[in-house]
Amino acid sequence: MAASTIKRIGILTGGGDCPGLNAVIRAVTKTAIIEHGWEVFGIEDGFLGLIENRIHPLKKTDVSNILTRGGTILGTSNKANPAKFAVGKDAVGMPIFKDVRDKAMANYKAHELDAIVVIGGDGTMSCAATLLGHGAKFVGVPKTIDNDLMHSHITFGFTTAVETATEALDRVHTTAASHHRIIVVELMGRNAGWLTLSAGVAGGADVILIPEIPYDIAVVEEYCRDRMAHRKACTIIAASEGAKSLHGRQYIAKTIVDSPDPIRFGGIAEALRNQLEATLGIESREVVLGHVQRGGTPCAYDRVLATRFGFEATKLLEAGQFNRMVVVQHGEMTSVPVEEVADKQRLVPRDHRLVVAAKAIGTCFGE
């Protein structure tokens, strides 16, 4: 399809929410209307809205004054995969899945959409990839506080989450020092340690535990013991929710069987606190930041990055470069095929320069 034939586009936000989603929606909608004269339709709650035909027009006034708002005005869902959609439960309570891609595509065609701007992480891009062979056209925008999308060195939402987590670590330092405690702070990130690594360094954490570097609890214990022996006021441990021990253990809070990404990590902070307190005899506490890291207004950097991503997405549409995701590589905007992002994660290399720098100033990674 030639770029000049575009008349209508859709926008959806999938997966977990994060700061900057509304900034992208605003940038795409306003650029599409003002620069190109296209009609824009908002798809509610990610691919769920496409499946259930909850699609409505977006005007410039609908996206005015949303730049600074957290969350997404369109809503989102991390369960609605058109290729494997839960339609009910069987006799033992297990979900019954059905392929509803034909239904999603029928709604796509009924609204005469020429393409959809899909804003999300690897799971959302995976859902988009399942529709490529059914006639859908997409342009992806990388969103996640985990910063783990392949081929993009930064995703919007990440910097705001780092700032939120860093502020929490700053505040934990003062109370930990006052009571001479060990405090374990649990951060998000799934199987990627970018958020914990960056916030841990910025927040001066003494111990940083990330999934990519399996930790030896004995090493962590000895490190804490040594700090107290040298009259350090406290010890702060920044632990990624998906951090794993040398034996490969990860702490799983629950499994959501009808979700494309069923594993929900959680519990490492409590487990480490209990073990360290019992072994060392040092009063310890745990703090779980949880969804605080996802919420709130985006920082200035993420507002700018999200606006740039939204603009670049419309340029791909204009050029007829469909089924690609906008990415940042070496500080420059470019794009890659959606299939190269789907079902993949960009992890922290063990020899990453920030890991090396942190080790050089005495930070323990449990090795």
Q: Is the pLDDT of residue 3 over 80?
A: no
Q: Which two tokens stand for residue 29?
A: 């909608």
- Contact by Cβ (8 Å): 142, 155: yes
What percent of the residues of the chain are helix, what percent strand, and what percent coil, each to the nearest 5? Answer: 40, 20, 40
Closest to 52 measured CA to CA, from 89, 12, 22, 19: 12
| DSSP β-bridge partners for residue 13 | 119
- In three-state secondary structure terms, 288 is strand
pLDDT band at 273 (very low <50, low <70, confident <90, very high): very high
Tell me which amino acid residue 315 is.
K
Cα-based torsion angle of the residue sequence 127, 129, 133, 136 in order, rounded to the nearest 10 degrees: 80
Ranges of H-type helices in the chain: 21-31, 47-52, 101-110, 122-130, 158-179, 194-202, 217-229, 268-280, 300-318, 353-360
pLDDT range class, residue 256, cuts 50, 70, 90: confident
Active-site hit among 17, 114, 146, 206: 146
Contact 204/185 with Cβ under 8 angstroms?
no
Q: Are 347 and 212 in contact (CB under 8 A)?
A: yes
**Is-catalytic flag, 146?**
yes
Q: Which residue has the higher pLDDT, 226 or 258?
A: 226
pLDDT in tens, 327-364: 999 999 999 999 888 888 999 999 999 999 999 999 99
User: Tell me, what's the pLDDT at 93?
Assistant: 83
- Determine contact, residues 40/56, Cβ cutoff 8 Å: no
Distance CA 345, CA 313 (A): 22
Angle between helices 353-360 and 194-202 (to 10 degrees): 40
What number of CA atoms fall less than 13 Å from residue 175's CA on the CB side?
Answer: 13
pLDDT, mean of residues 222-231: 89
Q: Do the beta carbons of residue 305 and residue 299 sit within 8 Å?
A: no
* Residues sharing a CB contact under 8 Å with residue 121, sequence separation 6 or more, in sequence order: 14, 15, 16, 142, 143, 144, 146, 148, 149, 155
Q: What percentage of the chain carries pLDDT values higher than 70?
A: 99
C-alpha 164/C-alpha 241 separation (Å) is 16
The answer on pLDDT for 257 being more than 90 is: no
Tell me if 203 sits within 8 A of 163, measured CB to CB.
no
pLDDT of 260 over the 70 cut: no
Query: How many whole angstroms separate alpha carbon 317 and alpha carbon 9?
Result: 9
Least Cα distance to 160 among 41, 76, 70 occurs for 70
pLDDT tens-place string over residues 32-67: 999 999 999 999 999 999 999 999 999 999 999 999
pLDDT band for position 228 (50/70/90)? confident
199-221: average pLDDT: 97
**pLDDT, position 4:** 54
Which residues, 6 or more positions from 188, have their beta carbon under 8 angstroms from its beta carbon?
145, 146, 161, 195, 240, 241, 289, 290, 293, 294
Do residues 14 and 116 touch, judged by C-beta distance below 8 A?
no
pLDDT computed for residue 2 by the predictor:
46
Pick the closest to residue 36 from 328, 313, 307 (CA basis): 313
Q: What is the per-residue pLDDT for 187? A: 97
Can you give the pTM of this predicted structure?
Answer: 0.93
> Do 50 and 104 touch, CB atoms closer than 8 A?
yes
Q: Are strands 182-187 and 207-209 parallel, antiparallel or unpaired?
A: unpaired
Question: Domains in the chain, please, with CATH?
Answer: 3-156+298-340 (3.40.50.450), 160-295 (3.40.50.460)
CA nearest neighbour of 248 among 203, 211, 295, 303: 211
Which of 86-100, 106-120, 322-336, 352-366 comes out lowest in average pLDDT? 86-100
Rounded CA separation 242/30 (Å): 38
- Read off the amino acid at residue 104: A
Mean pLDDT over residues 173-188, rounded? 93
Contacts of 56 (CB under 8 A, 6+ apart): 41, 42, 44
Q: Do 215 and 209 touch, CB atoms closer than 8 A?
A: yes
